[in-house]
Amino acid sequence: MSTAALVALALVIAVSLRARRPVQSMLISRLRVLLPAWRFFDRPTSAPVLAVRAGGGPWIGIGAAARGPLSWAIAPAGNLALAYHGVVEQLVAEVSELDAALAHDAPVIVALVSYELVTRIAREHVPAGAAWQWRIQVDDEDFLVSPELGGVTERAA
Amino acid sequence: MTAGLAVLWMARLAAVATTVAALELVAVHRAVGDEGVFRWATLRRDYAAAPAPVRALLDALFGARGTRLVLGVQLASGLALPWLDHPAVAWLAVASTLAIAVRFRGSYNGGSDAMLLVVLIAIALARTQPGSPLELAGLAYAAVQLVLSYFISGVAKLADAQWRRGTALPLLVRLPQYAVPARLAALLSRPLVARGAGIGMLAFECVFPLALVQPTACFVLLGVGVAFHLVNALAFGLNRFLWTWLAAYPALLFWVARTHG
């Protein structure tokens, strides 16, 4: 019994130390909540940052929601902001799998569902009617910059 | 602690966790509506290659109306968990929680969704056949996943040099998505505090399996665990982790009591 427990422990350690690989199967990806990896904050790297600008103005980062006195118990806006951040991370992961030489507005990138989601997140943070743009920075470098959207472009679409 | 009492306490705590999860999405329902960021018209593109009947089912389930219905089922089943011990209630909570995760491309709130499902599945198994090996299997499943959640997380961190050096926490508290309160971020960025807190956290996670073999260690580790999740909720805004992990604790307490008298 104790030998079996030790073997199981060794297996868990071996699996835990293996490098993380992206899940290829969509079915497994959608049901991954049933197969938890239990790796939290294991690689403390910098996070991608989504920012927007309207009318060619300054870039404004889209960050966390403001905390309230009950946020430790229930935090709808905070967790929605974390879900938005998860979308940005997913887009970065998906684009990183593609050819690095691709233009930022290459059809294969713009067609990604994550790209559309990020565009919709960004649009929530700019005034209606203005021409606007979003960008994702990783380690303070531009990773992905959208073409100018909204204004005439959006009305035409 | 009897198996029945452990399941009852899990149900009470899971009721809080499930209700919080459902209410949080109800509060931001605009985001899943027809014009919201997570509107189904966008997400359904993921399933363009799926067979037509599957797409029709998903459209019915995850459109704005379907999502409201699923959230309603999650909220109602979550609230009913402590009061109605019919297994259908727990299985409805499992199904609606899983559906919400699938709708959000696999998860809405990461690990907390996974642990909530672990706890709900354990309760559903236990209530399907109370007093049977299935009940014990449900409790064992939750207890093992709870221990693994800490242990794997700790061992995975050991592979990273910044965690071993004690320099990881200052990086984490500066991540903009968590908006850690400025005073706490400043405190945790002090080298001595960062090193102590980081190594303490690693130690807590890596020694957690001791909770299975030593009752006193179990009580101490679960006490530290409560404080750990409370600090995470206050510092990083990870409120759902507090409720879902607490809901798994009775399963571990049951197994430790059963094994060690």
Yes or no: say if A157 and A123 are a contact pair by the CB < 8 Å rule: no
pLDDT in 10s for each residue of chain A, 157 residues: 467 666 766 766 666 566 566 666 777 888 888 888 888 888 878 889 999 999 888 999 998 888 888 999 999 999 999 999 999 999 999 999 998 888 898 999 999 999 999 999 999 999 888 899 999 999 889 999 999 987 655 544 4
- Please give the full DSSP string across A126-145, using - where no structure is assigned: S-TTSEEEEEEEETTEEEEE
Residue in B closest to A61 by C-alpha: B176
The predicted structure's pLDDT at residue A23: 60
Closest by CA position to B250, among listed B177, B131, B143: B143
A110 part of contact set with chain B, CB < 8 Å: no
**Pairwise pLDDT comparison (A4 vs B195), residue with the higher score:** B195
> Does the distance separating the beta carbons of B106 and A31 come in below 8 Å?
yes
The predicted structure's pLDDT at residue A151: 67
Quickly tell me which residue has 């693994």 as its tokens: B148
Q: Give mean pLDDT, residues B10-19.
A: 98
- Please give the full DSSP string across B70-118, using - where no structure is assigned: HHHHHHHHHHHTTT---HHHHHHHHHHHHHHHHHTTT-SSTHHHHHHHH
What residues of B are in contact with residue A42 (Cβ under 8 Å)?
Answer: 153, 156-157, 159-160, 163
The CA-based angle B183-A41-A79, given to 5 degrees, is 70
The predicted structure's pLDDT at residue A127: 86
The predicted structure's pLDDT at residue B39: 96
How would you class A152 by CB atoms within 10 Å of its CB: exposed for 0-12, middle for 13-18, buried for 19 or more? exposed
Q: Write the single-letter amino acid at A131.
A: A
What φ, ψ does residue B188 adopt, rounded to 5°?
-75, -5
Residue in A closest to B97 by C-alpha: A33
What residues of A are in contact with residue B115 (Cβ under 8 Å)?
Answer: 36
The predicted structure's pLDDT at residue B176: 87
**Pairwise pLDDT comparison (B255 vs A152), residue with the higher score:** B255
Taking the CA of residue A9 and the nearest CA in chain B, the distance in Å comes to 9
Q: Which tokens go with B85?
A: 């011990």
For residue A8, give Cα distances in angstroms to A11, A13, A15, A123.
5, 9, 11, 49
Report d(CA B8, CA B167) in Å as an integer: 42
- Summarised one tens digit per residue, pLDDT across range B76-100 is 999 999 999 999 999 999 999 999 9
Neighbours of A138 (CB within 10 A): 16
- Summarised one tens digit per residue, pLDDT across range B30-66 is 999 999 999 999 999 999 999 999 999 999 999 999 9
- Sequence-distant (6+) residues with CB within 8 A of B80 are B15, B89
Q: How many domains does chain B have?
A: 1
The predicted structure's pLDDT at residue A25: 77
Q: How many whole angstroms from its chain centre is CA A51?
A: 13
- Summarised one tens digit per residue, pLDDT across range B130-167 is 999 999 999 999 999 999 999 999 999 998 999 988 88
Q: In A60-89, which positions are buried (b, 16+ CB within 10 angstroms) versus exposed (e)?
A: eebbbbebeeebbebbbbbbbbbbbbbbbb
Q: Which tokens go with B179?
A: 């908006």
Task: For residue A82, give the nearest of B25, B177, B242 by CB distance.
Answer: B177
Report d(CA B10, CA B120) in Å as an integer: 9
- Sequence-distant (6+) residues with CB within 8 A of B126 are B3, B7, B134, B135, B138, B139
* Per-residue confidence band for B233, with pLDDT thresholds at 50, 70 and 90: very high
Quickly tell me which residue has 């699938």 as its tokens: B102
The predicted structure's pLDDT at residue A12: 64
Q: SS3 letters for A102-124?
A: CCCCCHHHHCCHHHHHHHHHHHC
A140 part of contact set with chain B, CB < 8 Å: no
Is the predicted ipTM greater than 0.85, yes or no?
yes
Report d(CA B222, CA B201) in Å as an integer: 13
> Does the distance separating the beta carbons of B168 and A41 come in below 8 Å?
yes
Q: Give mean pLDDT, residues B114-128.
A: 96
Residue B214, SS3 per DSSP = coil
What residues of A are in contact with residue B113 (Cβ under 8 Å)?
Answer: 33
The predicted structure's pLDDT at residue A35: 85
The predicted structure's pLDDT at residue A7: 72
Task: For residue B176, give the nearest of A13, A61, A87 by CB distance.
Answer: A61
The predicted structure's pLDDT at residue A155: 46
* Per-residue confidence band for B125, with pLDDT thresholds at 50, 70 and 90: very high
Taking the CA of residue A80 and the nearest CA in chain B, the distance in Å comes to 8
Range of the domain at B216: 3-260
Please give the DSSP secondary-structure letter assigned to residue A60: E
Please give the DSSP secondary-structure letter assigned to residue A31: T
**Residue B245 is inside which H or E element, if any?**
helix B239-260
For residue B231, give Cα distances in angstroms to B52, B197, B239, B241.
47, 12, 10, 11
